[in-house]
Copies of this chain bind each other. A is one copy, B any other.
Amino acid sequence: MQTPGPARRVGGRREATRRKLFEAAVTLVSEQGYGATTVDEIAERAGVAKGTVYYNFGGKDELYAALLEWGVTRLADTLRQAVPGPEVEPRQALTEVLRAGVVFIGAHEALARLLMAETWRTNRSWYTTVRQIRTQAIGVITEQLDAMVERGLTRPDLDTSLAGSALFGMVVTVALDWRTLQPERPVEEIHTTLAHVADGLIGSPTPTR
């Protein structure tokens, strides 16, 4: 037990197996729910023996927790990478981030469904993890809003944190409604409508009423 060395190669066999399991689980759980999805199903869909699940993760719960963490981290990373440099004006930057959100959900529909379903169950063991990383994702949006407030591009009394959460919820809801009800529509149309709503927010630095 002196040599740990499992993480030698990036993309080793073990890593590949884990990813296969994640991908299998994410689809099945998003369709059926966690409780209704059996370990046997997941293993079969991943083309892997049941024992492998227990070798790689401790059990069903651990697999699921790891999956959630993997998923939400990917979302947060994607959003972070979508933030353009400081040369781009904040209004445009926010639009880019929202677009990245829509695109991500379009490409990882099952994962998005699952995250939405899991965010609101406050007393599952993995709840804290999901919540934390979700906060990171929202944080990316909030930062853009803060930058806007700073430059007087929107009303100065805006609760950017709450507004960030609002925009996040908006993106996810719209994107999933799109995938569910009219998947044939091009992403661009979805994003345009979203931008209209967001633009509205930005376009009113008037402390009316």
Contacts and interface: CB of A to CB of B under 8 A. Distances in A.
B162 A168 contact: no
A17 to B, nearest CB: 26
A30 interface: yes
Interface stretch (A39-47, A48-56, A79-87, A111-119): A111-119
Interface string A185-209: 0000110011011011111101010
Nearest to A207: B196
The 5 closest A-B pairs by CB, nearest first: A35-B35, A169-B173, A200-B201, A200-B200, A113-B120
Given A120-B116, A120-B176, A166-B174, A34 B31 contact: no
A159 B174 CA distance: 12
A158 interface: yes
A2 interface: no
Which size bracket describes the interface of A in this complex?
A: 35 or more
Contact of A194 (B121, B166, B200): B166
Contact of A201 (B121, B124, B173, B197): B197
Contact of A193 (B30, B119, B159, B194): B159
A33 B32 CA distance: 12
A158 B194 CA distance: 10
Given A31-B122, A113-B120, A167-B170, 4 more contacts: A163-B196, A166-B197, A197-B197, A200-B200
A199 B208 CA distance: 10
Contact of A122 (B180, B200, B206): B180
A173 B113 CA distance: 14
Contacts of A36: 34-35
Contact of A121 (B30, B119, B123): B30
A136 interface: no
A147 interface: no
Contacts of A170: 166-167, 169-170, 173
A159 B202 contact: no
